[in-house]
Structure formats: structure tokens, C-alpha cells
Amino acid sequence: MALSTAVMLRRCTHLSEARYAAGMEVQYLGFLFSTTDTDDYRSQTRAIYDWVAGVELVAELTEANQALVNEVFTTYQPSVWMVPADVLPLLPADSKVVLTGPNYGDAAKAIGYFLEGDQAVGMDLPVWLHYTGALQLPEATDIATVLVLDGRPEERPGFANLDHLADVLEALEVEG
């Protein structure tokens, strides 16, 4: 089975979710990095990413400094960065970037825009659409190049309800 639209699992926080996403052929796995992360969070993130195969790592930054960008680049080697425009100057040359709003800044470095809802009309780059269920799935896949789904924390250690992913990913499955 394959998915009819590329999918990113955003803000992944546990192995159950990452393994399920990889098994369902999700293309991108996003991890949020911050200047306030603990060493434990960073090592857990690395362990999750190392455990799964076949997915590309997306480094999500909502704010950053050069030290954080350097650490994430060196330690994780992300395939894609998802950042606001003010972080662009800090990124390594030739980075693949998905810009987050509301100010998209220098789109020359961008491979896409991360958008909420149906604000995608008139965009000149591929849309990474945050899918929250507000749009019907067929309408969302018409807009999106990549459908972005939210990760959720485990309910308790070792137990995760993945219904929020299963419903969407099963609807996107095609023979192939």
C-alpha cells in the first residue's frame, strides 16, 4: 500500500507513533527543537529517529539561535527544516526549507509553505497543509503537496491512541 498524498507527522514525541507512521509510509517525521530542550529530550528524539526507517527527518524550529541550528544540523542531519523566516539566515547553505507564517520572508530558499486551513489560495510554492479536520480530506489533498498531521503524546508510557493518525492515513491509502 502507498499513500495518495505525501504526509508529515509533526511534533513526534514517542516511538509508537513514529513506528506506526513509518509503517504507513509517512514520508516525513517532524521533531520540534527548542533552545530550552533538555538533554533527555534530545537523546529520546535521536533514539526515536534512529529506530525508524524510510522517513525523512524534519527539524521544526519556532525560534532559534546559531548554536541550536548548528547542534541540530550536526547531530540529526535533517532533510528539511520547518522554520519562520527570521531563522533562514541561521541555516546551512543549500538547506531545504518549509517556511512557517505569518511572514514568509525570502521565499528563494523555500521548497514550500506550511499553512493552516484553506489559506493556500494563490501560493506560488508547494503547500504543506496542516490538516486538522476543518477541511474535508479530498479538499485538503487538492490543496496540499504534503499533508501535515499532528503527533500526540502517549497517554501513559507504552500506550498511545493512534486513531487520529489511522483515520486519515487509511483514507489516503491506495493500491500500489
Tens-place pLDDT, residues 53-112: 889 999 999 888 999 999 999 999 999 999 988 888 899 888 888 888 665 555 555 667
Interval 146-166 mean pLDDT: 87
pLDDT tier for residue 117 given thresholds of 50, 70 and 90: low
- When mean pLDDT is compared over 94-103, 126-135, 161-170, the highest value belongs to 161-170
pLDDT tier for residue 152 given thresholds of 50, 70 and 90: confident
Percentage of the chain lying above the pLDDT 70 cut: 86
Distances (CA, A) of 40 to 112, 151, 156: 31, 19, 18
**Is the pLDDT reported for residue 169 higher than 90?**
yes
Full set of structural domains in the chain with CATH: 2-174 (3.20.20.70)
> Would you say 75 and 46 are in contact if contact means Cβ atoms under 8 Å apart?
yes
At 116 the pLDDT is: 61
DSSP 8-state assignment for residue 133: S
Task: Give the span between the Cα atoms of 38 and 2, in whole angstroms.
Answer: 36
